[in-house]
Amino acid sequence: MIKSMTGFGRGEFSDGKRNVTVEIRTVNHRYCDIAVRMPRRYSFVEDKVRKTIREKISRGKVDVSILVENITESDVTIRLNEPVADQYIENLNRLKNEFRLDGEISLSLIAQMPEVLKQIPDVEDEEEMTHCILTPVMQAVENLEEMRAAEGRKLAQDLLMRADLIRELVSRIEVKADDVPREYAKRLRDRIGELLEGSVEIPEDRIMVEAAIFADKCNITEELTRLKSHMDQMKTIITESSGADGKKLDFLVQEMNR
């Protein structure tokens, strides 16, 4: 069964130390275009995120949002840069003595100076974080695929209904197509009769020749056969598709419009 190209999926994971939330949105696109937004410090997982998504999604514009929230421990370590702090204190004391300034050099003053206290990001366990991120990614992909499949079933029902309507019209055209040459011959005979006003005998053999030429020109048997073949292929794709046959359907519709 075909799938829709639009959908939304969400996945969540928590290991007691962090909460990871993943949201995936897809819209129509000719190719598979995946955009991932996630904290830069976890970028080592991005290629695996893309690979996981590509295993399920072959076409469409895919927007992936990954949010990581630490809930128990800080993800940074504060470290004192002693050499820098010593230089600040030394130079502030020198400034105070040389210019005979009042006041004490306080802890709060030194702590506010640039580079005295530095935030050092903790080193992540890459294997652990990969598991924490890929788990909700796979969950989000599954939810997304369920939504795309559900919408695809509705689209398939609509397409099959329209295909049946077209097939019915084709059947009507086939019936009427056989009458076209006869109707043309009748109109031609009536027109000639009006022009000659019964003064001479209507050349029946000539009328039949003209009708035969016209019948050959307006013969649509090949077109109707091709159209029915396209309808059969369309039905097969819709009912037996693995989900990535949008290009085939697009081609068939273009051929049908011809």
Asked whether residue 204 is domain-assigned, the answer is yes
Asked whether residue 57 is domain-assigned, the answer is yes
| Same domain for 139 and 112 | no
pLDDT at 11: 97
pTM (whole model) above 0.85: no
Number of domains in the chain: 3
Asked whether residue 116 is domain-assigned, the answer is yes
Rounded Cα distance, 153 and 4, in Å: 8
For the chain, counts of helices (H) and of strands (E)? 8, 6
| Same domain for 142 and 19 | yes
Asked whether residue 249 is domain-assigned, the answer is yes
| Same domain for 106 and 179 | no
Rounded Cα distance, 179 and 78, in Å: 91
| Same domain for 94 and 52 | no
Rounded Cα distance, 212 and 46, in Å: 69
Dihedral angle computed from the Cα positions of residues 80, 83, 87 and 90, in that order, rounded to the nearest 10 degrees: 90
pLDDT tens track, the chain, 258 positions: 678 889 999 999 998 888 999 999 999 888 899 999 999 989 999 999 999 999 999 889 999 999 999 877 666 778 888 999 899 899 988 888 888 888 888 888 888 889 888 877 666 678 999 999 999 999 999 999 999 989 988 988 998 898 888 888 888 888 777 777 777 677 776 777 677 666 666 667 776 777 677 766 777 777 888 888 888 888 888 887 665 667 778 788 787 776
Asked whether residue 1 is domain-assigned, the answer is no
| Same domain for 197 and 116 | no
| Same domain for 162 and 130 | no
Strand order in the sheet with 18-27: 7-14, 18-27, 60-70, 32-37
CATH code, domain carrying 135: 3.30.230.10
Judge whether 46 and 38 are in contact, CB under 8 Å. yes
Range of the domain at 113: 76-121
Asked whether residue 38 is domain-assigned, the answer is yes
| Same domain for 158 and 104 | no
Residue 35 sits at the vertex; the CA angle it makes with 33 and 37, to the nearest 5 degrees, is 170
Asked whether residue 42 is domain-assigned, the answer is yes
Alpha helices (runs of H) in 59-125, residue ranges in sequence order: 82-98, 107-111
Asked whether residue 2 is domain-assigned, the answer is no
Residue in this structure with the two tokens 């820098």, named with its chain if needed: 84
Judge whether 36 and 153 are in contact, CB under 8 Å. no
| Same domain for 139 and 230 | no
pLDDT at 202: 63
pLDDT at 100: 81
Which phi and psi (to 5°) does residue 66 adopt?
Answer: -120, 120
| Same domain for 238 and 209 | yes
| Same domain for 183 and 136 | no
| Same domain for 117 and 18 | no
Which phi and psi (to 5°) does residue 149 adopt?
Answer: -70, -40
| Same domain for 247 and 139 | no
Note the Cα 177 to chain centre separation in Å: 43
